[in-house]
Amino acid sequence: MSPKGFHFIVEASGCGPVISQVDRLQEILVEAARRANTQVWSVSFHRFPPDGVSGVVVISESHLSIHTWPEVGYMALDIYTCGEESKPQVAVDYVLEQIGAKQTHITEITRGLDDGDMEYYHSFVTWQEVLRRNGN
């Protein structure tokens, strides 16, 4: 049986200063949702002192959320989509490119699996990537 959805949990380190910019992060996540072939329903972003940002983009297929700690260059990203047409990996890749992360730890969870008995479970894979070294 087909899974109900795909859930990406992303830890990003060494992020650029953009992770303190509320308006820019909102633009990035809305564009990520568009690139993932999803429909945006609502958007809410908020700044937390001194420079952190939290935001959520509710999509017809579920959500994208972000929480940042610019003082240590860290971003937590959560993207969950359901539906066969959505492309959550495209959204993840776009966000990571835009924030200039140096390293990531990603977990992809395949959710809503069942063996035909209506008892659902998930499976996951996790990996790390070095995206940039010494600012390159």
Name the residues annotated as catalytic: 62, 67, 82
Location of structure tokens 């990603």: 106
* 32 SS3 class: helix
Compute the distance between CA of residue 72 and CA of residue 95 in angstroms, rounded to an integer. 18
Give the pair of three-digit tokens for residue 134.
Answer: 């010494």
Report the distance separating Cα 55 and Cα 104, nearest Å.
19
Q: How far apart are CA 43 and CA 101, in angstroms?
A: 23
> 16 in helix, strand or coil?
coil
Radius of gyration from C-alpha coordinates of the chain: 15
The DSSP 8-state label assigned to residue 28 in this structure reads H
